[in-house]
A and B are shown apart, each in its own frame.
Chain A
Amino acid sequence: MENFVIILTIFVLAIFVGFEVITKVPPILHTPLMSGSNAISGITIIGALISAGSKQTTLTTILAFIAVVFATINVVGGYLVTHRMLQMFKRKE
């Protein structure tokens, strides 16, 4: 229970940090914000990697493989497409 309260605290505080940081992003960058934050939500990849590498059962390994693929698409696709968009805003100077 004690552990739960600790991570719940982190969860709640992080939401507040999120609100503070995100409200400062101007509307013109909202699309890259969405794709970029999307890439961040691909952080589940670390859970997928451990599960895929620990090879407990065939079923979990197959499911973990799919999870790694999904999360990697999320991470790689998210960061790349965000970069592509932000580059377009940058080049006019």
Chain B
Amino acid sequence: MGVNWLINLFYLISATLFIFGLKMLSHPKQAVKGNFISAIGMLLAIIVTLLDKRIVSFEVIILGLITGSAIGAFFALKVPMTAMPQMVGILNGFGGGASFLVAGNALFEGIYLKQILTNQFLIATVASGLIGSITFWGSMVAAGKLQGIIEEKPIIYKGHHIVNIFLLLISLFIGIILVIKPQLTYLYYILVFFSGVLGVLLVTPIGGADMPVVICLLNSYSGLAAAATGFVLNNNVLIISGSLVGASGIILTNLMCKAMNRSLTNVLFGGFGAVRVSEEEDIYAGKIKSTTPEEVAILLDSSKRVCIIPGYGMAVAQAQYAVRDLMNLLEQRGVQVEFGIHPVAGRMPGHMNVLLAEADIPYEKLKEMDEINPVMPQVDVAIVLGANDVVNPLARTDPKSPIAGMPIIDADKAKTVVVIKRSLSPGFAGIPNPLFAAPNTLMLFADGKKAILEIISALKEL
């Protein structure tokens, strides 16, 4: 036992630092420091671990640390903010992957050294293998879909639910045998294989628009896999950290589901967006009023309060910087500019805020949906930029709509709405948007970035 208690004491300090770090994320001002404190906790845990007497040689460790640090740092510094969901997805996957590898090794080593393995050890190993492998492969598919390497649309075939249930049962069955006969260590990797296939098949039927939920859920799983590995190694810091992450992922999953007014079951098994209904295009017939950048400039110049409602389309058009310039120009002219951010505006929780912050838009201007909606009637011009479903009034009015009951940003309640969009094509939900045909709406048909730049130059000429 010797120094074990001391090592565990340091692990406790690490866990405390993690909690403090997360706590400091509650305000943007302290958040950088919070992240730093959390990183110190991790460094401490690593250093203390290296003092462990079971470690007899350092070559493999050093090689692994260097390789991992180089790859991790490269991607962390290079990844564009638009690709953050993929990045987080891949990181989730690696966390899950590391967890099932560590648990598997604990099993192999235990058998090799002829240790007595407790039921807790064995059951936790099975759990870690199952959850870790699902997380790893599921995350790779999710990241592939977000990056556009794998078909984004739901890939559904007949009876895929039955196949998935079957795979889960096989995995559990192998797990049970492994608990009874742990000497059959190779069963562990058969378990990992079947759970991996399950992970792939669970994510492929889910459409690109639902990826935020999947990423959150996998985030939670990566935490649970770490916690399970903690049960394998009897290690408290793994259990505490794992449950923190598990809780965080579940909270975010819940928030995302609420923001779309759908249950988690519906997101995971519904195959949303598979069938595109392009019904009643006549909703628009004869009611669309199109406008020009010059007109919009005059409109903005004479307004007191402007609200910009960005969607992922804004990021696709790389219009964030143009939007920032427009904001600055309007503020100079005494116009109050705010941003109304829907929780699912980006492709992961908080994504839109990061994209706007990158363009130097102060976070005080980024208003949550619940904050902006009550003041919307006082807004003179609402600019909808690259957003569609999140401002669709059908969510409030049509109980049969696929987005019925989804909370939306009430852009239609502003005095004038300017929608900047290339065409009248539907959003992810595949339904028409009556907002485009509303009497107080003007459509500016153009690429998001180009439109904003033209509005800016028109404003300067006024």
B251 and A23: CB pair below 8 A?
yes
Known contacts: A38-B91, A49-B46. The answer to whether A69 contacts B84 by CB under 8 A is: no
A32-77 with Cβ < 8 A to chain B: 32-57, 59-61, 63-77
| A42→B417 CA distance, assembly (Å) | 46
B146 at the interface (CB under 8 A from A): no
- Interface residue total, chain A, C-beta cutoff 8 A: 83
| A44→B100 CA distance, assembly (Å) | 9
A3, A42, A67: the one contacting B101 at CB < 8 Å is A67
Q: Residue on B with the closest CB to A49?
A: B49
| A11→B65 CA distance, assembly (Å) | 28
| A53→B53 CA distance, assembly (Å) | 10
A43, A55, A77: the one contacting B226 at CB < 8 Å is A43
B76 and A14: CB pair below 8 A?
no
B113 and A40: CB pair below 8 A?
no
Known contacts: A25-B25, A67-B105. The answer to whether A7 contacts B98 by CB under 8 A is: no
| A50→B64 CA distance, assembly (Å) | 12
B112 and A25: CB pair below 8 A?
no
| A81→B219 CA distance, assembly (Å) | 16
Tally inter-chain residue pairs, CB-CB below 8 A.
376
> Which interface residue of A40, A69, A88 has the most chain B CB atoms within 10 A?
A40
A50 and B350: CB pair below 8 A?
no
Residues of A within 8 A of B245 (CB): 18, 37-38, 40-41
A88 and B358: CB pair below 8 A?
yes
Summarize B's interface: helix, strand, loop or mixed. helix
A32, A40, A70, A71: the one contacting B244 at CB < 8 Å is A40
B372 at the interface (CB under 8 A from A): no
B183 at the interface (CB under 8 A from A): no
A89 and B46: CB pair below 8 A?
no
A73 and B94: CB pair below 8 A?
yes
Summarize A's interface: helix, strand, loop or mixed. helix
B76 and A47: CB pair below 8 A?
no
B457 at the interface (CB under 8 A from A): no
Residues of B within 8 A of A24 (CB): 23, 26
A37, A56, A76, A84: the one contacting B68 at CB < 8 Å is A76
| A77→B88 CA distance, assembly (Å) | 9
Q: How far is the CB of A27 from chain B (nearest CB, A)?
A: 6
Residues of A within 8 A of B26 (CB): 24-26, 29
B60 at the interface (CB under 8 A from A): yes
Residues of A within 8 A of B77 (CB): 80, 84
A29 and B25: CB pair below 8 A?
yes
B343 at the interface (CB under 8 A from A): yes
> Which interface residue of A17, A49, A61 has the most chain B CB atoms within 10 A?
A49
A90 and B45: CB pair below 8 A?
no
B35 and A92: CB pair below 8 A?
no
Residues of A within 8 A of B57 (CB): 53, 55
A47 and B35: CB pair below 8 A?
no
Q: Residue on B with the closest CB to A48?
A: B102
Known contacts: A33-B350, A40-B42, A63-B101. The answer to whether A72 contacts B68 by CB under 8 A is: yes
B56, B92, B223, B368: the one contacting A54 at CB < 8 Å is B56
Residues of A within 8 A of B36 (CB): 83
Q: Residue on A with the closest CB to B74?
A: A77
Contact with A along B209-247 (1 / 0, CB 8 A): 000000110010011011101111111111111111111
Residues of B within 8 A of A17 (CB): 19, 240, 243-244, 247
Residues of A within 8 A of B103 (CB): 47
B46, B94, B112, B239: the one contacting A11 at CB < 8 Å is B239
Residues of B within 8 A of A50 (CB): 49, 52, 54-55
| A18→B240 CA distance, assembly (Å) | 9
| A41→B241 CA distance, assembly (Å) | 6
Residues of B within 8 A of A44 (CB): 95, 98-99, 102, 225-226, 229, 238
B353 and A31: CB pair below 8 A?
yes
Residues of A within 8 A of B233 (CB): 47
B21 at the interface (CB under 8 A from A): yes
| A24→B31 CA distance, assembly (Å) | 12
Q: How far is the CB of A38 from chain B (nearest CB, A)?
A: 5
Contact with A along B33-46 (1 / 0, CB 8 A): 01110110010011
| A37→B350 CA distance, assembly (Å) | 14
B109 at the interface (CB under 8 A from A): yes
Known contacts: A7-B234, A77-B72. The answer to whether A89 contacts B357 by CB under 8 A is: yes
B22 at the interface (CB under 8 A from A): yes
Residues of A within 8 A of B104 (CB): 63
8 contacts between A and B (CB under 8 A): A34-B249, A43-B237, A65-B60, A68-B65, A77-B76, A80-B76, A86-B28, A89-B363
